[in-house]
Amino acid sequence: MDFAIQDSPEQTAFRVEVRAFLDKNVSPDIEHMADPCDMSFEQYQLRRDLGRALGAKGWLYPSMPKEYGGGDLSTEQIGILTDELTRIGLALPPYYDAGGRMGAPTILVWGTEEHKKRFLPPICRGEVRTWQLLTEPGAGSDLAGIKSTAIRDGDHYVVNGQKMYVGSSHGADYSWTILVTDPKGERHKNLSWLMIPMNLPGISVTPMDLLATGGEGGSGCGVKNAVFFDNVRVPAENLVGGENNGWKVATTHLEVEHGGMGRLADRRVVYDFIDLCKKREDGWAIADDPGAREELVNLYIESEITRLFAMRNHWLSHTNQPRSYEGSQYSLRRKLSGLDMGEKMVRIAGPLVLTKDKRWAPLRGSIEYFQRDSITSLHPGATTDIQRVIMARRLGIGGREREKAANLR
Amino acid sequence: MDLSLNDTQKLIQDSARDFVRGSCGRDALLKLDRDPAAIMTTLWPQMLEMGWTGMAIPEEYGGTGNNLTDVAVLFEELGCGPVPGPLFSSAVLCARILMEAGSDTLKKAWLPRIASGERVFALALTESQYGWTADNVRAAAKRTGSDYTLSGTKVFVHDANFATDLLVVARVEGGAGVSVLRIDAKAAGVAIRTLDGFITGMCEVLLDNVKVATADIISDGWPAAERAMLSVTPVLCAYKVGSCKTVFDMSLNYARERTQFGQIIGRFSRVQDHLIHLVNYLDSARWTTYEALSKLDNGMDATASCHVAKSVASESHMHACDYAHEVHAGIGVSREYGLTLHTKLSRSLYHCLGAPRLHRKKLESVLGLVAA
């Protein structure tokens, strides 16, 4: 076994290449705001510029096939790329692109050749930003219970309804959307996925006032929205995976969303917090208190386990091995340990972690943001309860066959 | 990054699995639990034949020089039993202490005999002021003529009941630090008694003016011995991982078979939650353990990882057994069912090589929270 991303000579060369590329292409004007909701349009554009530069090399979606604009990179190379972006406080992709991140692998499995050629290259090259639209006011955990419809009318689908808790600040070019295509059809056999251009008439977007962004703070998603569809006419060829076959398609999408792909986790906030506690001012440091030290070590151990689960999933997925409960296990762990770490921080450092005041907030308020984000993160990509349900099914606890993980390739 | 087992490790895993299936069925293990001495006539000869006593010992000293991950793969399978006996104490822990701290003469004298299984070593460190640090050591050796005499009381010593030789940690008259002394377990003045209770393989060792040759004293050997202990800690953790795995499998199977209220209990989400906790503990122990091993075998700094692994594995092992008991209820505490062998072990090995609290304390220094 080898847990380290140990660079072979080729990998060292690749790391050097990545660093040189990032030195050249990451604008010095990129700011790392503690709260992604504070991201200005200019800041967003700087990240999109970087995305296009990465995309031109196939590095924005490095695991996607080259022929569709990806990079066909190896696990190690993706690790290096992610590593180097993390080092400078960015993620891959460097902006919120959930519809691309989860839609692209799903289209790769379920799309026709025409779909792949049309949708994947713009996503992989960073030319478009894509949201994912799943949740509705009446359908959160019970995704199959959505009500928004797409009814066939000639060579178009007419879309009506409302999606919630979606997207980011500063809009999107496309929305990867699940809708009811057969309102009278049987549950699970009435859904379809549409790639919807966001400039079509009848679409309106309203920002929501949430505690934080949740889930993907690192990729800077910003404000979540409600999206309303009022008789929006979407070309029929934008339906991917077959009409009324959407539940099957969703299993692939959800596999990615439930953590099946595994990300090499960023633990910056943990290290920053430990450093904060070690910082000595006027002869005093938070870590001087033995109780605080004990909690800090526990926090460190918690984050080590989370990192290793992510690493395992990353390895399983990038070496194309069978997975079962691991995706949901990681998701569950990330959510619960995030919450737990947030609480530990409150206990260790007191109100210091609760303020974003310019004078008093440590680390420009990033710890205060973590407090809000770790609570908000409990719901995106399925609640902790749903993650447990999936784990139980995959482990076969209920006596049925062990449910198989959806195909990601 | 490659988290899979290599071909050698797969072979080790296969042969260990065959051994556990063939010779360590539930009834056999329950019998050995009541009569541990029989281990040396039943399981031990088979372990020698498989070459397991030499795995952690370099070729120049009669072993096969396998790396720690290889050894851990074996111990994970043994933990699945759980297979009892002094294999870890002798051929891994004491062998490693001799390797790290011993003189060339001591290594040449004892490592080949540990590797061949002819001698069985155990580490006598802990005393009535229980702890796995040098501070807790009161046993002392006094100079008498050209040799020394050793006196003291060691307690909760793992596997001393099987031992032909003991490595005793003691203070030596005239020495600056804490030393490691080899004595014959049958020497005059040594009295070994197995302790009874909810405990697996632990003994009291009374040392009353035991003669020790100067050549058998590793003067100021503690720092090297402590390094050796830390580096084999993940192997012990792997044994715990194996035990957690069996406990999980037992619980899963039980939840799928046991019927109450007209349905299998695995349908109840309360029961599912126990199993989810269990698999989370299992995997936490597994991946922290194998990362530490990988760092050790690749010559990286593994200090923090070893502390994390022991802390996580010890806690996980106890919790895993607790959740298994929640799933199993009455049948779980019936000794003949076999679960309690694991539960007892999870308590008995919790402190072995340092309790989680000690390892977390050491992490405070490693993370720079206190001056090292």
Q: Do B279 and A395 touch (CB under 8 A)?
A: yes
Tell me the C-alpha distance between A70 and A221, whole Å.
Answer: 22
Q: What is the pLDDT of residue A218?
A: 46
**Residue A391 forms contact with B (CB below 8 Å):** yes
Q: How many CB atoms lie under 10 A from the CB of residue B227?
A: 14
Q: Which of residues 11-70 of A touch B (CB under 8 A)?
A: none
Q: How many residues does chain A have?
A: 409
Write the CA distances from B60 to B52, B56, B64, integer angstroms.
16, 12, 9
> β-pairing, B165-172 with B121-124?
parallel
Q: Is residue A78 part of a domain?
A: yes
Measured CA to CA, the distance from residue B62 to residue A365 in angstroms comes to: 60
Residue of A388, A318, A355 lying closest to A72 (CA atoms): A318
What number is the ipTM of this complex? 0.94
Spell out the residues 6+ positions from residue A283 whose beta carbon is closer than 8 angstroms to its own.
none
Q: Are A383 and A332 in contact (CB under 8 A)?
A: no
A336 touches chain B (CB under 8 A): no
Residue A387 sits in the same domain as residue A265: yes
Q: For residue A223, give the CATH number of its domain.
A: 2.40.110.10
The stretches of chain B forming alpha helices (DSSP H) are 7-23, 26-34, 39-49, 68-80, 87, 95-101, 104-116, 222-257, 269-297, 303-328, 339-348, 356-366
The two three-digit tokens of residue B154, written as one number: 């060691």
DSSP B79: H
Does A325 sit within 8 Å of B298, measured CB to CB?
no
Full domain range(s) for residue A281: 261-395
Q: Are strands A191-197 and A239-240 parallel, antiparallel or unpaired?
A: antiparallel
What pLDDT, in 10s, does the model give residues B309-343?
Answer: 999 999 999 999 999 999 999 999 999 999 999 99
The CATH number given to B7-116 is 1.10.540.10
CB A381 within 8 A of CB A261: no
Other Cβ atoms less than 10 A from the Cβ of A215: the count is 24
Which pTM was predicted?
Answer: 0.91
State the nearest Cα–Cα gap between A81 and chain B, in angstroms: 14
What letters, b where the CB count within 10 A reaches 16 and e where it falls short, cover B240-267?
bbbbbbbbbebbbebbbebeeeeebbbb
Instruction: Please give the pLDDT value at position A409.
Output: 55
Asked if A88 is an interface residue toward chain B (Cβ–Cβ < 8 A), one would say no
User: Do A83 and A137 lie in a common domain?
Assistant: no
| Residue A59 confidence (pLDDT) | 97
Residues of chain A predicted below pLDDT 70: 5-6, 215-220, 257-266, 400-401, 406-409
Task: Give the integer Cα–Cα distance in Å for B249 and A93.
Answer: 40
pLDDT at B163: 98
Domain boundary among A82, A100, A124: A124
| β-sheet bridge partners, residue A150 | A159
Q: End-to-end CA distance of chain A, in Å?
A: 25
Binary contact (A308, B291; C-beta < 8 A) = yes
Residues from chain A that touch B69, judged by Cβ atoms under 8 A, are 1
A1 is a domain residue: no
Helix pair A366-376, A326-349: axis angle to 10 deg: 140
Residues A119 and A205 in one domain: no
Compute the distance between CA of residue B332 and CA of residue B337 in angstroms, rounded to an integer.
7
Nearest Cα neighbor of B134 from B165, B108, B101, B161 is B101
- Quick one: A236 and A299 in the same domain? no
Distance of alpha carbon A51 from alpha carbon A96, whole angstroms? 11
Q: State the Cα–Cα distance between residues A70 and A99, nearest whole angstrom.
A: 16
Q: How far apart are CA A271 and CA B304, in angstroms?
A: 14
Interface residue A291 vs chain B (CB under 8 A): no
B3, B69, B275 member nearest A395 (Cβ): B275
Residues A108 and A167 grouped into a single domain: no
Q: Are residues A270 and A342 in the same domain?
A: yes
Domain boundary among the residues A210, A243, A276 is at A243
Phi-psi region at A58: left, alpha or beta (left = phi > 0; alpha = psi -120 to 50): left
Name the 3-class secondary structure at A329.
helix
Asked if residue A366 is part of any domain, the answer here is yes
Nearest to A164 by CA among A220, A215, A223: A223
* Partners of residue A294 in chain B, C-beta under 8 Å: 360, 364
Look up the CATH number of the domain holding residue A53: 1.10.540.10
Cβ contact B367–A300 (<8 Å): yes
Phi, psi angle pair for A406, to nearest 5°: -70, 155
Helix H or strand E encompassing B205: strand B202-212
Judged by CB atoms closer than 8 Å, whether chains meet at A1 and B364 is answered as: no
CA distances from B1 to A302, A310, B9 (A): 22, 13, 17
* Torsion region of B112: left, alpha or beta (phi above 0 gives left; psi -120 to 50 gives alpha): alpha
Helix (H, G, I), strand (E, B) or coil at B202: strand
Residue A349 lies in a domain: yes
Provide the CATH number for the domain around residue A289: 1.20.140.10
Which residues of A are known to be catalytic? 257
* Fold exhibited by the domain B223-366: Butyryl-CoA Dehydrogenase, subunit A; domain 3 (1.20.140)
**Amino acid (1-letter code) at residue B349:** L
Tell whether A28 and A146 lie within a shared domain: no
In a domain, A403, yes or no: no
Least Cα distance to A254 among A178, A155, A353, A169 occurs for: A178
| DSSP per-residue string spanning B223-255 | HHHHHHHHHHHHHHHHHHHHHHHHHHHHHHHHH
Structural domain count, chain A:
3
For residues A351-383, one letter each, b for 16 or more C-beta atoms within 10 angstroms of the residue's C-beta and e for the rest, the string is ebbbebeeeebbbebbbbbbbbbbbbbbbbbbb
Q: Percentage of chain B with pLDDT > 90? A: 97
Residues A345 and B338: their CA atoms lie apart, in Å, by 42
Contact (Cβ atoms closer than 8 angstroms) between residue B365 and residue B372: yes
From A163, A100, A94, A164, select the one nearest A131 (Cα to Cα): A100
A109 and A32 both lie in a single domain: yes
Q: How far apart are CA A318 and CA A74, in angstroms?
A: 8
User: Is residue B10 within 8 angstroms of chain A, CB to CB?
Assistant: no
Task: Please tell me if residue A300 touches chain B, with a CB cutoff of 8 Å.
Answer: yes
Which residues in chain A touch residue B308, judged by CB atoms under 8 angstroms apart? Answer: 300-301, 304
Return mean pLDDT, chain B: 96
Tokens of A209: 């006032």
Tell me which chain B residues have a C-beta less than 8 angstroms from the C-beta of A315.
Answer: 1-3
Q: A344 CB contacts (<8 Å, ≥6 apart)?
A: A295, A296, A298, A299, A302
Distance CA A270, CA B301 (A): 20
B167-174 mean pLDDT: 95
Cβ within 8 Å, pair B256-A399: yes
Same domain assignment for residues A96 and A162? no
Q: How far is CA A32 from the centre of its chain?
A: 18
Beta-carbon-side half-sphere exposure of residue A142 (alpha carbons within 13 Å)? 7
| CATH number of the domain located at residue range(s) B121-221 in this protein | 2.40.110.10
Same structural domain, A204 and A103: no
Flag whether A345 is in a domain.
yes
Is the model's pLDDT at B239 over the cut of 90?
yes
Residue extents of the structural domains in chain B: 7-116, 121-221, 223-366
Domain boundary pick from A124, A157, A191: A124
Mean pLDDT of B123-144: 95
